[in-house]
Structure 1
Amino acid sequence: MKHTSQFAAGKILATCQNGVGILTIDNPERKNAINAAMWRAIPDAMHWLVSDAGARVVMLTGGGTKDFSAGADISEFPTVRKDTATARVYESDNSAAFSAIRNARIPVIAAIRGICYGGGFGLAAAADLRIAADDAAFAVPAARLGLAYPADAVQDFFHALGPQLARKMLFTGLAVGASELCEAGFLMEITAPAALDAAALSLAEIIAANAPLSVQASKLALRAVATNDDDLLREAEVIGAATFDSADYAEGRAAFAEKRRPVFSGR
């Protein structure tokens, strides 16, 4: 059964079917630029996908056929980001959106085509896995706009791009192509534009078919290592140990013995 919900007047779309959630930034007439209401809606959409719709993995994508996201909607800046006070509120919403992707208990796959700039690039950097079409272009234009990028998003760039490429992109604001980011390890795969959605969906379906508790324990442990967070590491150890008492572990052993594909329930 397919579940669907809309947020931010339909500009953030969430669907889920067979454990695969899709979160779409749906503003194609503006290259999927993200306005303030859309930033605020992203955590709500992620919560709905994970907690209400039962997603085991989420695919993050841009609406239409051309672009992932041009980033924050600059036309709003004279109102919502006009000075330090308003910028703090705005960037709090940015950070909540990045955190919803980064800290989701399930994996998030970014499927990227066309423009992936600024805040859109930040959302992609917060994802666990990234696949891009060969026409994708990436940039962090903050230095060309005279503003500073949220520090937590800079942390995502540092981890995802590596220190040298992160510095290059933040300091110069120059656009970088998919091939360079694939070589740097930011992207796991490059496809033809027409093949992007199928490649991302295939990966999502493989993940969704695996034992959810096992995948969640792995994601938490990877986050703990990346951030050198001892508290997260202990939490991951507790969740990992609990998998051995789960129904899914019993199902996995039974399926192996019976030479059949396991059917995991997430319990």
Structure 2
Amino acid sequence: MPELIVKREAAIGRIVFSNPSKYNAMSRDMWLALPEALDALDADPEIRLIVLEGDGDSAFVSGADISQFGASQADPAVQAAYNAAVEQAYLAPVKCSKPVVARIRGICMGGGLGLAAACDLRFCRDDARFRMPAGRMGLGYSVVGVRRFMTVVGVANTFDMFFSARVFGAQEALRMGFVSQVAPRETFDAMFDEWCAAVVENAPLTLRALKRTVNELIHDPGDRDVAAAETAIAACFASADYREGAAAFMEKRKPRFLGA
């Protein structure tokens, strides 16, 4: 049965896309469940980092589960409701105040590529395969979604992905800037876990302020809420964590941040 599996492992929350028989293709219910799952982890004070990943080794997410696209999908109201659910799922990692990263193994295509693009960072194994097949399906990709790809990989690479609808590999994804790090199967888990461990040791308010600031700065100037970013930055300097960081530096010890 297609589902999202939510796990809490110390300071790391994991959301697993599980539909293994279809390479973790996203059902309508999975799209709808993702914002709620992310909101719950965002509200959990014990969680400092959220990982999105696919169930098993074969895929992150292969796309939307098109077996659900029956005759009703031709109804404009049905299509609009489905598109809204997908877009809310894409927005959920962006709206989350905590770092959200994609752990990619195997296939990452279509809706999976869109979900990965919505994360703050992406890491992949060297067997990962990527594709944006919108041009092969005749669908129109949303303005917000296209802008998201342009922000991550630039204009030329966005044109390339969409115009060609070709499959590309992990090293090309690294060259484009779509992923931050690539590692072979033997070392991928260790690399990813080491990076996550470094993140969860850092001051949560600093990470929150940075994410809010970046997300505001990538908007058009007229749409930016700079005041909200500045408020988040000011909260860092007013926090007990700021005082703890200074004390730890002077005492040459590891800081113990509480997120307050």
Alignment correspondent of 1:5:
none
In structure 2, the CA distance between the partners of 1:155 and 1:231, relative to structure 1 (3 Å rule), is closer
1:21 aligns with 2:21: no
- The match for 1:246 among 207, 224, 239 is 239
Alignment correspondent of 1:221:
213
Work out whether residues 58 and 204 of structure 1, in 8 Å CA contact, stay in contact via their aligned partners in 2: no
> 1:221-255 CA distances to partner (integer Å, 9 max, x unpaired)?
11112223564322111110121110101111111
Aligned-partner Cα distance in 2 for 1:100–1:144: 27
TM-score, structure 2 normalization? 0.94
Alignment correspondent of 2:59:
67
CA shift at 1:200, angstroms? 2.2
* Residue segments in structure 1 that go unaligned for 5+ positions in a row: 1-8
CA shift at 1:53, angstroms? 6.2
Work out whether residues 220 and 232 of structure 1, in 8 Å CA contact, stay in contact via their aligned partners in 2: no
Aligned-partner Cα distance in 2 for 1:106–1:38: 21
> 1:43-87 CA distances to partner (integer Å, 9 max, x unpaired)?
011011111363211111100111111010010112563343211
Q: Percent identity?
A: 37
1:125 aligns with 2:117: yes
Instruction: Tell which deviates more after alignment, 84-93 or 191-200.
Output: 191-200
Alignment correspondent of 2:187:
195
Aligned length: 259
Work out whether residues 11 and 46 of structure 2, in 8 Å CA contact, stay in contact via their aligned partners in 1: yes
In structure 2, the CA distance between the partners of 1:79 and 1:17, relative to structure 1 (3 Å rule), is farther
> 1:110-131 CA distances to partner (integer Å, 9 max, x unpaired)?
1111110111100100111111
Work out whether residues 2 and 26 of structure 2, in 8 Å CA contact, stay in contact via their aligned partners in 1: no
Structure 2: which amino acid aligns with 1:234? A
- The match for 1:237 among 230, 243, 248 is 230
Alignment correspondent of 2:257:
264
Work out whether residues 3 and 29 of structure 2, in 8 Å CA contact, stay in contact via their aligned partners in 1: no
Structure 1: which amino acid aligns with 2:243? A
Matches within 5 A, 1:1-267: 11-52=3-44, 54-79=46-71, 81-229=73-221, 231-267=224-260
Matched residue SS, 2:5: strand
Aligned-partner Cα distance in 1 for 2:85–2:104: 22
Aligned-partner Cα distance in 2 for 1:228–1:248: 32
Aligned-partner Cα distance in 1 for 2:4–2:97: 20
Matched residue SS, 2:234: helix
In structure 2, the CA distance between the partners of 1:197 and 1:152, relative to structure 1 (3 Å rule), is farther
Instruction: Tell which deviates more after alignment, 53-62 or 67-76.
Output: 53-62
Work out whether residues 58 and 109 of structure 1, in 8 Å CA contact, stay in contact via their aligned partners in 2: yes
> 1:138-187 CA distances to partner (integer Å, 9 max, x unpaired)?
11111111111233222211111211111111122111111112111111
Aligned-partner Cα distance in 2 for 1:44–1:252: 33
